[in-house]
Structure 1
Amino acid sequence: MHARQLTFLDRILAQAQHAMDTVLGDPPATRPNPAAGTPDVALEPAERRHAAGLMRINHVGEVCAQALYVGQAAVARDAHTREHLMAAAQEETDHLAWCAERLRELDDRPSLFNPLWYAGSYAIGLAAGLRGDGWNLGFVVETERQVEAHLDEHLQTLPPADLRSRAILETMKADEARHADEAERAGARVLPQPIAAVMSLASKAMKTVAYRL
């Protein structure tokens, strides 16, 4: 028996469901939480608020990554590129679940603007994908390198006692570096500097807002 071919409407509905699950749901991780087995300690109120702000930024980053990769995959011309994007998106789902779990442990919540972050990133993903697979992969590399840099920043400013958040961020950083390396090997094009600069400015604006809201 042959699998039913998905229609255009099927794909639209599947992507809408993915958006709802990412923004409003609680998608499960497929890998164990790296913080499992790491003791949780009571943080001072200011430390807890800071740790929660950082984890909210990282949660938003994973919402954006989901939207970006799903948008890119929707218009990818090459099946291998599409598979690469969806495999990366699955690992980003793990990150999303881990960050959400840590936010709950810190008695905090995700960003109120997650629907907006998702919609904007999905539009960017579509635009990147329509330029061709080399550009598609180039956006993956630039996105992952910028995320890797801000994770390194967060690891330096996390409260020293917050070992659970640290374990999550260290694993995420290793995953993001690998995604970028794989995209480079798959034929990513180097993005023009103005595009990379705009991406960096947008990321800074997102981090400023998401830290509190």
Structure 2
Amino acid sequence: MSETVSFRRASLLDRVLSEADRALRVLAGSVSARRPNPAGPAPVAEEGAGEGGLTEGERRHAAGLMRVNHVGEICAQALYRGQALVADKPGTREVFLRAATEETDHLAWLDERLKELRSRPSLLNPLWYAGAFGLGVLAGKAGDAWNLGFMAETERQVERHLDGHLGTLPANDVRSRAIVEQMAEDERQHRVTAEQHGGKSLPAPVRAAMRCGAKVMTSTAYYI
């Protein structure tokens, strides 16, 4: 039975309990990717060599960017699961659940890359998850058109964010670059899907508030 069908048949209490369980698994890093890592198998590290030929400064910078992206995927999981929880129509709910599944791939890839870079996820991930889930529920309560519009605008801003990362990643960090490029392609498809399903363009003040919130999150996650 697909997750969409199971989700539709479950009671609200069952859905809430299921989401709590999923949140714990996401925050514990126990999710697995369904697709292969676009960076390929992890290379065998040579003693005394930098990761992939990166200098220590480049490694720390790449790790900071990957941590920011990891936080983004934590938030995407929470946001889309919250939106799906209260979506009006089964078709709309399916859009969010399918996107959340692909975001799980991103989360697993980024977790692997952070380990390769000898770094860690954000210490504030529980806070990011809770806030994004609540925001998703609020967006869903506005109705499917605004719910999908919120998804489209989120992905539009994520696209710009990832394009910026591609411009600032160390030139020889081909593994991080491969992951970010695939993520960017997936996010573009999520945006197009949301628009095709009737997502409304959000008012300018809402878009601006989203950009400000994202700026706070990314600036903090780079270090913490």
Under a length normalisation based on structure 1, what TM-score does the superposition of the two structures give?
A: 0.96
Aligned equivalents of 1:103, 1:25: Cα separation in 2: 12
Same amino acid, percent of matched pairs: 56
Amino acid at match of 2:31: P
- AA aligned to 2:62 is A
Equivalent in the alignment of 1:52: 63
CA distance in 1 between counterparts of 2:153 and 2:126 reads 23
Map of 1:150 onto structure 2:
161
Tell me, which stretches of 5 or more residues in structure 2 are unaligned? 1-5, 44-50
Query: 2:128 — aligned with what?
Result: 117
**Is the contact between residue 72 and residue 125 of structure 1 (CA under 8 Å) also seen in structure 2?**
yes
2: CA distance, partners of 1:47 / 1:122: 33
Distance 2:82 2:9 in 1: 20
In the alignment, the residues of structure 1 paired with residue 196 and residue 82 of structure 2 have an alpha-carbon distance, to the nearest angstrom, of: 21
Counterpart position of 2:143 = 132
Q: CA deviation at 1:35?
A: 0.2
**1:92-121 deviations in whole A, cap 9, x for unaligned?**
000000000000000000000000000110
User: Quick one: which amino acid aligns to residue 137 of structure 1?
Assistant: L
Q: Output one character per residue of 1:61-119: Cα deviation in whole Å (capped at 9) or x when no partner.
A: 00000000000000001000000000000000000000000000000000000000001
Tell me the residue number matched to 2:14. 10
Where does residue 26 of structure 1 map in the other structure? 30
What is the aligned partner in structure 1 of residue 85 from structure 2? Answer: 74
What amino acid is aligned across from residue 32 of structure 1 in structure 2? P
List 4+ stretches of structure 1 deviating above 4 A: 37-40
Q: Unaligned 5+ residue runs, structure 1?
A: none
Give, in angstroms, the shift of residue 129 of structure 1. 0.1
* Amino acid paired to 1:191: L
Q: CA deviation at 1:26?
A: 2.3
Asked if the contact 1:38/1:163 (under 8 Å) is kept, the reply is no
Cα distance in 1 for partners of 2:176, 2:86 equals: 35
Separation of aligned partners in 1, 2:31 and 2:41:
22
Q: Distance in 2 between matches of 1:200 and 1:192?
A: 13
1:185-200 alignment, distance < 5 Å? 185-200=196-211
Shift of 1:41: 1.2
